[in-house]
Amino acid sequence: MQPFLIDIPQAALDDLHRRLEDTRWPPELPGVGWQRGVPLGYLKELAGYWRTTYDWRAAERHLNQFPQFTTEIDGANVHFLHVRSPEPTAWPLILTHGWPGSVAEFLNVIGPLHDPGAHGGDRADAFHLVIPSVPGYGFSGPVTETGWDLTRVARAWAELMHRLGYHRYIAQGGDFGALVSVALAAADHDHVAGAHVNFLPTIPPGDPAELDQFTEPDRARLHRLSRFLQEQSGYMKLQSTRPQTLAYALTDSPVGQLAWIIEKFKEWTDSDKLPEDAVDRDLLLTDATIYWLTATAGPSAQLYYEAADFLPTAPAPPTLPPLPVPLGVAVYPHDIILPIRRLADRAFPNIVRWSEFDKGGHFAALEQPDLFVHDLRSFAHALPQ
C-alpha cells in the first residue's frame, strides 16, 4: 500500500478553464426548462462559475486532510481513504459510492462517523472508515481488462479489508455501492457483520393477482419505477450498451461531462428548481471535476455494461441468493426508485432495520448527512458485537 496525495498539475486546470471558455454551445427550444435536459442558461452560468469562481485547490486540500492510499488488487489500482477513529472500539466500516458519485460524496459524514465525540455525538458510535474509489472511477483510474462487475468489486473490497486487518466490519453503500455492499456481504459473510444500503431496487411481481393486493403507497412506488424506466433511464441504456462511444464526447468536453452529471443531481435529489437546492454547488463541482481530471467518464460507465443484468432496465434481473447477514435499508423519498417493503422482505429476509425519511434523495450522505449518520449508527447498534 502506497500513501497517496491528490496533486493535479496546474496545466490540467489551465486546460479545463480554456476548454470551458471555448465551449461550443448548442441551441435550445424556448420554454422547455428541464423537461428535455439541462437548460442552456443554467448550464452556461454553472460552467462560468466552474471556470472563474470554483476553487479546485480548496477541494484538493479538503480531500487531502484525510489519509489516502493506493494498492493493487486483482490487477486494478485501487485508491481509498482510510480514516481511523481515535476510539479503539470503533466499528470498521467500508463506504462505497456509485455513479455519478465519488469519494467526495462522503465528505460531509467523515467527521461525525469517525470522531463523533468531536461532533457532539457519543464516542461509542465511532467507525474506522475505509472509503474506496470503485475501479474505473476517479483516482482508482481506468481498469485494464473487462470483467470488473459488481461481484469482482466486492471481492476486491473483501481483500482490501483483509489487508487493512479488519476481520469484522460493516458495509454501506448507495446506487452501485448498495449492490456492491450486498455482494460483499454475501461473498465475505464470515467477516461482514451487516450491510446497510440507501438504495434497494425491488422487482415487481409477475402475478397480476398479487399486484391487486398492493397498497396505494406501494402502487405509487411501482408507478415511480415505471416512470423512471420510460422517461429517465436513457443514460442507463446508453452506458450499459455503448460506454465507449459515450466516452469520446464526455472526455473531450468538460461542459458535456458536467451536463451528463448535473442532470442526475437535479432529477435524483430532493431539489426544488436547481440541483443546488439539495447539494452544495461546490461539492457538485468537486464531483464533476474528479471525473474530468481523471478522464473516467468512459471507464466509470463500463460498470453499467458489466452489471447490465442487474439493472432495472434488464428484461429479468437475476434473483439474488438469501443474504446471510443482517441488512439495514434507508429509504429517502426523492430517490430514483423506492423499494417496496413486502418485496424487499421476500428477497432479503434478514432486514433488521427499515427507515423511511420525509426528505432526501439518491445522494443521502451529501443531501442529509445528519439523517445518514444517525441511521447508520442505529443500524450498528442492532448488530451483534
The residues annotated with a catalytic role in the active site are 175, 304, 362
Query: Contact at 8 Å (CB) between 52 and 97?
Result: no
Query: Contact at 8 Å (CB) between 287 and 200?
Result: no
Query: Contact at 8 Å (CB) between 250 and 239?
Result: no
φ, ψ of residue 282 to 5 degrees: the values are -65, -35
Could you tell me the three cell numbers for 149? 462487475
Closest CA to 181 of 313, 328, 302: 328
Query: Contact at 8 Å (CB) between 365 and 372?
Result: yes
Query: Contact at 8 Å (CB) between 75 and 45?
Result: no
Q: How far apart, in whole angstroms, are the C-alpha atoms of residue 182 and residue 151? A: 9
The DSSP code sequence of 4-56 is: ------HHHHHHHHHHHHT--PPP--TT-TTTTSS-HHHHHHHHHHHHHT--H
In sequence order, which residues have a C-beta less than 8 Å from that of residue 26 and are 6 or more positions away?
40
CA angle 361, 365, 367 (to 5 degrees): 45
Pair type for strands 76-83 and 68-73: antiparallel
Name the maximum alpha-carbon separation found in the chain.
62
